Every structure is written in C-alpha cells, then in structure tokens.
Homo-oligomer: A and B are copies of this chain.
C-alpha cells in the first residue's frame, strides 16, 4: 500500500469506522446510498479487509444494513427508527438506576460534576456529550458490565447526532431533571429508577 496512508497507525479498522461514522452523521453519504468496500478502501489507501471490519461495526450500530453478496447501504432512518431508541434506553437506564442506587450510597459527586460541566458547556456538540455523559455515569455506576456494554452498543451519541440533524431535538431545559435525579440518588430514593425512565422518555418525539 503506497498511496500516502493518510491514516496513522492505531488499528486501521477503528479509524476507518470513525471515518465512516463521521461521513454518515455529516451527511456525506446519504441514506440509502451504497457503501462499496473497494471504493472506501481505495479512497483511504487501505485494503478491503479493514473496511469490512469497520462495516461490521456499523452494522452492529444499525447505521447500515447489509444483504448477503449485495453489500452495505446507509440505512434510511425513519422517524420511527429514531423514536425506537427511547423505550430501550429508558428500560436499560431504569435498570441501571435501580442497581446503582445501592452502590452509590448517596455519593453523587460524579453526577454533580457532569451537571456542572453541562452547565458550563457552550457549543451544541459539547452540550450533547455532557448530557449523555450524565446518563453514562448512571449506567457505569450500576456495576453491571453487560448492561454497560449493551448501553454503549446503542451508539447513543451517533443516534442523537442524527436526531439533531433531523429536527431540533433540543437537549437543553433538561438540566433541572438531572438535578432532581441526582438528589434522588443522594437520598437513595428507590423511585429513582422510575424517575430516570420518565426522564429518558421525555426526550422522545
């Protein structure tokens, strides 16, 4: 492979995946558009193999759909697709909160730190990441590694980005609920699971 690697050496598959994700979220590849393995490979100056690896990850994230012997295409996200994520997130995060409330034992420093960072955030991307980080913190605090793995595999950041592109799913105005939830964790309120569930569902369109 000569054509100016254009990519540093740290796991080609990972880097290609990021390139593809950026391309999809930025709209470079339109929904329904085919993603041809060799074309991407040639463009990035790599071979077909790591591109295939990256595509499998995108498939797991449900960003593309693949037909046997027919290749991959960018999914044509319907509003329904974007909406489906919320009940799943709500269920997972409710479970996480119920598990976490015991383990935290009123220690909510980490949650408060995320709230502070969210309040200080300026640009929309930063707001989104800090808002998500608050939720991730709850999932982490559950101590259930499988739960964490499943939650991560939802690719919340990517889907939220797509949702923001689609319409103006505003993330602000929810900081108050984050505070309420944090207070519930502080007093080990067993209703915190339901609160988190309701909070997540309130994002749904």
Contact = CB atoms under 8 A, between A and B. Distances in A.
A136 to B, nearest CB: 16
A88 B146 contact: yes
Q: How many copies of this chain does one complex carry?
A: 2
Contact of A85 (B68, B81, B146, B153): B146
A56 to B, nearest CB: 6
Interface stretch (A26-34, A89-97, A105-113, A127-135): A89-97
Interface in A57-75: 60, 62, 68
Contacts of A11: 68
Interface in A37-57: 49, 52-53, 56
Contacts of A87: 95, 98-99, 144, 147
B145 A84 contact: yes
Contacts of A121: none
Given A49-B49, A62-B146, A146-B154, 7 more contacts: A60-B153, A84-B145, A87-B95, A87-B98, A88-B144, A91-B92, A92-B92
Nearest to A13: B56
Interface residues of A, number: 28
A95 B90 contact: yes
Interface in A105-164: 144-147, 149-150, 153-154
Contact of A56 (B49, B53, B153): B53
Nearest to A53: B56
A147 B84 contact: yes
Contacts of A146: 62, 81, 84-85, 88, 154
Contacts of A147: 84, 87-88
A145 B87 CA distance: 11
